[in-house]
Amino acid sequence: MSKAISLNETIHEICTRYPEIKEILRELGFEDITNPIMMNTAGKIMTISKGTQMKNIDIENVKEKLKEKGFEII
């Protein structure tokens, strides 16, 4: 079964559907993702796409790592 995600979904939506992605995103530079307060506030409006821009994280690297971990970017 494919784990499909959109880079424009909120981080909260993605992490609710696929809890294992939290650790992957944390390793990629989304340090605040493990903070429940941040997840329940900013996580409900922040997307991976917006987050990579704000934190100056290479989005291509994020896509590559997510694909390696079995996620399909749609």
Instruction: Express each pLDDT in 4-23 by its tens digit.
Output: 999 999 999 999 999 999 99
Q: For residue range 18-63, what is the model confidence (pLDDT) as tens digits?
A: 999 999 999 999 999 999 999 999 999 999 999 999 999 999 999 9
Domains and CATH numbers, the chain: 3-66 (1.10.3910.10)
Inform me whether the pLDDT recorded for 1 exceeds 70: no
DSSP string, 14-71: HHHH-TTHHHHHHHTT-GGGG-HHHHHTGGGT-BHHHHHHHTT--HHHHHHHHHHTTE
What pLDDT score was predicted for residue 52? 96
